[in-house]
């Protein structure tokens, strides 16, 4: 059986399974191969925007004898997919802004039964914001370390309900304070926000943006005081 890294194992653990998935930006197709081997899914469409990554994926699929279950497709995001083709979409290994843009460009994903597994390499705030503002309920958030990096992974399903949250939620989510990886990731977000707010103040401009950031920063500081398990 194929071996997954910690990062990809976290994504695989959040897959609902049972039917067909799209693995967008598949690169080597490790995730769909693993999910087929474990019987978690029946079929996958592994897509990528580049010919090179698809060639890598083809070699992986052929090596493990899964050509009858995994289709390879050249696609810019979800452009080559049609509504109802898959019930679950995986997007891992891209920046949060790009992931949100891919989802925003495919409004057909906003329908009953749609399940998403998303793993942004950065800007988790953009993913949380997109999900909450487009009728998706975030079911789970995981943080996993690999080397010196900490990766965030979401699973969400579409409910059609307004899930808008306070601004601080988009930056820090509801990650458990007892999770060392979650604390590390939140501290990095906190430090970034502090640096950004200080830069805005020194530049003497965008006072409204600085004030909004300060509110988020203060909310996180209160969270740390309240639960007693986080440090700044």
> So what's the pLDDT on residue 231?
66
pLDDT above 70 covers what percent of the chain?
97
Name the average pLDDT for the chain.
94
As its CATH architecture, domain 6-163 has: 3-Layer(aba) Sandwich (3.40)
Mean pLDDT value across residues 155-173: 94
pTM of the predicted model as reported, rounded to 2 decimal places: 0.93
Enumerate residues 6+ apart whose C-beta is below 8 A from 112: 158, 160
Instruction: Work out the angle between the directed axes of helices 30-37 and 51-63 (0-180°, nearest 10).
Output: 20
pLDDT over 60 at 229, yes or no: no
Mean pLDDT value across residues 168-191: 91
pLDDT above 90 covers what percent of the chain?
85
- Among candidate residues 68, 61, 131, 63, the one with its CA nearest the CA of residue 96: 131
> So what's the pLDDT on residue 115?
98
């Amino acid at each position: 059986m194929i071996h997954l890294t910690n990062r990809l194992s976290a994504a695989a653990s959040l897959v609902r399974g049972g039917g067909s998935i799209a693995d967008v930006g598949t690169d080597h197709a490790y995730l769909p191969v693993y999910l087929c081997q474990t019987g978690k899914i029946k079929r996958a469409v592994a897509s990528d925007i580049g010919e090179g990554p698809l060639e890598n994926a083809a070699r992986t699929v052929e090596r493990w004898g899964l050509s009858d279950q995994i289709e390879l497709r050249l696609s810019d995001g979800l452009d080559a997919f049609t509504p109802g083709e898959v019930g679950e979409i995986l997007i891992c290994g891209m920046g949060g802004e790009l992931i949100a843009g891919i989802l925003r460009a495919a409004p057909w994903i906003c329908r009953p039964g749609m399940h998403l597994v998303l793993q942004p390499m950065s800007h988790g705030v953009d993913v949380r914001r997109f999900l909450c503002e487009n009728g998706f309920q975030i079911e789970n958030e995981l943080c996993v370390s690999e080397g010196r990096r900490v990766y965030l992974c979401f699973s969400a399903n579409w409910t059609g309900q307004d899930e808008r949250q306070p601004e601080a939620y988009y930056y820090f989510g509801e990650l458990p304070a007892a999770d060392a990886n979650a604390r590390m990731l939140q501290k990095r977000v906190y430090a970034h926000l502090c640096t950004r707010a200080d830069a805005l103040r020194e530049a003497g401009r965008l006072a409204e943006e600085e004030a909004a950031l300060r509110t988020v920063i203060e909310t996180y500081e209160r969270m740390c005081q309240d639960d007693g398990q986080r440090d700044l």
